[in-house]
Structure formats: C-alpha cells, structure tokens
Amino acid sequence: MVKERAKIDLTKFCDKQNPCTRDPFSKGKWTYATDGRICIRVPRLTDIPENKKAPNCEQIFKKADENSPYEWVAVPEMTVETVICFDCKGSGKWRDIDDTNHPCEECDGEGKVQEIKAVKIPLGDLTIALSNVYLDLIRKELSNPQIGLIKEAEESHPSMPVKIRFDGGEGLLMPIKISGGVL
Ligand SMILES: [Zn+2]
C-alpha cells in the first residue's frame, strides 16, 4: 500500500513582497517556488501557470548539478527564537510621509520576526553556514529532507548554493556569508 503523502505548500517558499516570486510558477518540466535565497521545485503541477517575470531558476539548478559532488547530510535540528522586529521596533506598523500607517513589511505587521542565526555544518576541513530559519522551514515543510553540501558553499566565500532533496522534489539554498563574525 502506498502511503498518501501530504502535498507540499509551495507558497511557504515564495517571497510575498516581490511581485515576480510572490506565487509558485511552472517552467519546463517543473513547478518552482523561490524567495531569492531558497528555491524548491517539484514535477510540474498542471494548475500552476508560467510567469514570464519569474527568475530563470532552471539555469541555477543546471549549474548546481554541474558542480557535484555533493555530500548528503540530514537537516540538523535547531530552535528558532522570535525577536522584536528591528524595522518597526515591535509596533508592526510604519508611518508614511503623509502620516498614514501601514503594516510593517519586514514582519508582516506582527511586530516580531524569527531570529536568524548561522547553523555551522562541517564538510571535511571546511564549514558551511546555513540559516536556522531556512533549515527549520525545510524540516517542517518537506518530507525526508537532506542537504547536499559542496565546498563552493564554504562560509567565507560562498559562491554556490547547497542542494536540497526531499520526497517529491529538490531545491537549492544559498549559504549565509560570515566575515569577521558578522552575518
Ligand atoms: Zn516590523
């Protein structure tokens, strides 16, 4: 008996603030969701249309595949703390020049945001730094996720994303760059 798998909520990987990547989109054999730092793709879903303004993610996946080998590891468990939003100082609003209030875009009007911390994952002699918020998202939203480490994602000069694989699709995640101890 084949176990029914819960459908992935691709909108969790989209960027609500960006009209080009606000919704998932289809291209070629795949349906994509991206916010510019993470990109997830699943075999093309017939109900998701193409978007001419969407970025060319296919090319980035192709490049990542040419840069193997990847070393596959489990996604580490981590905690994500919530902190006061720096942009609105916790009010959830920003005041326009005409004195009208708008919901803060940084925190969606919540006044709080998830605190970003680097999770350092060793790859031989190297260290790869990934965002705790994205690793938590991957663990929560994807089934059996693994991270594919590559030396080009090394923390001081990350030039390539790490890969993600999960039941029913794959993805890419840009590392956090750490220089002088500052994120
Ligand atoms: Zn805010």
Q: How far is the CA of 43 from the centre of ligand 1 (A)?
A: 35
Phi, psi of 113, deg, nearest 5: -135, 165
Residue among 47, 18, 20 at smallest CA distance from 31: 47
Q: Read off the pLDDT of residues 59-104 as tens digits, 9 standing for 90 and up.
A: 999 999 998 889 999 998 888 999 999 999 999 998 888 888 899 9
Give the pLDDT confidence score for residue 182 in this predicted structure: 42
Predicted local distance difference test score (pLDDT) of residue 50: 96
Per-residue pLDDT reduced to its tens digit, 53-63: 999 999 999 99
CA of 117 to the centre of ligand 1 (A): 18
Ligand 1 centroid, distance to 57 Cα (angstroms): 29
pTM for this prediction = 0.86
Query: Starting from the edge strand earliest in sequence, which strands make up the sheet with 146-149, in order?
Result: 25-27, 30-34, 38-43, 169-173, 162-166, 146-149, 71-74
Confidence of residue 174 (pLDDT cuts 50, 70, 90): very high
Measured between its terminal Cα atoms, the distance across the chain in Å is: 47
Report CA(83)–ligand 1 centroid distance (Å).
Answer: 10
